[in-house]
C-alpha cells in the first residue's frame, strides 16, 4: 500500500474513532496536531521520516491514558494493531509507538523521554494545541469531562516530581495552567514551536489576569 493511502486510511480511522469525543481529545485536536507537525517538519533541517511524523500525529491520542484509567499501554497497542493491518514496517511501527508512549507531559519536574527528532516534532505540535485560545477551551472541556472544580483559591498548584503524582492529581482546572500549560513554552523543542508558544502563552496570561479580576469582583 502506498504511504499516501496509509495516511489517508489512518486519518479516516481516527476520525471515526474520536469523532464524538467531548474531552478535548477529539478528531479536530488530532487534525490540528497533524497539520502543525507537518508545518514544523517543513521548517526543520536535516533528514526526517515524515511518514512516521504524520502517523504518530494521527494516532497519538487514539487511546489517551487519561481517558482509560491511566493505562499507558493502550494507545501504543491500538496504534500497533492498526499499523500492522496497514502493513507498515516493524521499524516504523516501533518508532511511532514509542513516540505515542513518550510525548505526554508527565509533571512539571519530570524530564521528557522523547529522543528522536520526529518525536520532538510531534510533541511540539501536540503541546502547541494545548496552549493559547484552543488550549484554554480544551482545558475547560477536559476539566468538565473529569468533574474537576473550575477554581478553588484554597487549593494551590503543585509542581509534581513524578508521573504518578501528576497522573493522580485532583487539582482545579485553573491550577492546571500553572502545573502544565504555562510551562510548555520553555519545553518546546523546535524554533518554530517556541515562537508560536510565546504568543499563545501571552494570551493565556491575559486570560488569567481577566479571570482573577472578574473572580475578585473588580469588574
Helices (H), 86-190: 90-102, 117-128, 132-145, 163-167, 173-179
Q: What is the mean pLDDT of residues 208-214?
A: 96
Indicate which CATH number applies to the domain containing 76.
1.10.3210.50
Average pLDDT, the chain: 94
pTM of the model: 0.94
Of 163 and 99, the structure prediction assigns the larger pLDDT to: 99
Distance CA 5, CA 67 (A): 29
pLDDT at position 219 over 70: no
Residue-number span of the structural domain to which 133 is assigned: 3-215
Percent of the chain surpassing pLDDT 90: 83
Number of domains in the chain: 1
The one-character DSSP state at 24 is S
End-to-end CA distance of the chain: 60
pLDDT confidence of residue 164 = 86
pLDDT at position 133 over 80: yes
Helix (H) or strand (E) holding 111: none
pLDDT band at residue 73 under the 50/70/90 scheme:
confident
Long-range contacts of 152-155 (CB under 8 A, 24+ apart): none
Measured between alpha carbons, how far is residue 183 from residues 116, 153, 187, 201 in Å? 21, 20, 7, 9
Q: What is the mean pLDDT of residues 46-75?
A: 87
pLDDT at position 218 over 80: no
Q: What is the mean pLDDT of residues 62-89?
A: 86
pLDDT digits (tens, 9 = 90+) for 35-59: 999 999 999 988 999 999 999 999 9
pLDDT at position 191 over 90: yes
Q: What is the mean pLDDT of residues 146-170?
A: 91
pLDDT confidence of residue 62 = 93
pLDDT at position 166 over 80: yes
Amino acid at each position: 500500500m502506498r504511504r499516501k493511502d496509509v495516511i489517508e486510511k489512518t486519518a479516516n480511522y481516527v476520525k471515526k474513532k474520536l469523532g464524538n469525543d467531548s474531552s478535548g481529545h477529539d478528531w479536530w485536536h488530532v487534525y490540528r496536531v497533524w497539520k502543525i507537525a507537518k508545518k514544523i517538519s517543513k521548517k526543520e533541517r536535516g533528514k526526517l521520516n515524515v511518514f512516521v511524523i504524520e502517523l504518530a500525529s494521527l494516532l497519538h491520542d487514539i487511546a489517551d491514558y487519561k481517558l482509560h484509567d491511566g493505562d499507558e499501554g493502550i494507545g501504543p497497542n491500538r496504534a500497533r494493531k492498526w499499523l500492522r493491518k496497514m502493513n507498515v514496517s516493524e521499524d516504523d511501527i516501533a518508532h511511532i509507538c514509542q513516540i505515542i508512549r513518550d510525548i505526554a507531559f508527565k509533571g512539571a519536574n519530570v524530564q521528557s523521554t522523547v529522543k528522536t527528532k520526529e518525536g520532538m516534532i510531534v510533541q511540539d505540535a501536540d503541546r502547541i494545541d494545548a496552549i493559547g485560545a484552543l488550549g484554554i477551551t480544551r482545558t475547560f472541556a477536559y476539566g468538565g469531562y473529569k468533574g474537576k472544580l473550575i477554581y478553588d483559591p484554597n487549593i494551590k498548584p503543585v509542581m509534581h516530581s513524578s508521573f504518578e503524582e501528576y497522573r493522580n492529581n485532583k487539582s482545579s482546572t485553573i491550577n492546571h495552567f500553572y502545573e502544565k500549560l504555562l510551562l510548555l513554552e520553555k519545553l518546546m523543542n523546535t524554533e518554530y514551536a517556541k515562537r508560536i508558544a510565546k504568543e499563545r502563552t501571552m494570551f493565556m496570561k491575559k486570560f488569567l489576569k481577566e479571570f482573577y479580576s472578574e473572580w475578585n469582583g473588580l469588574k
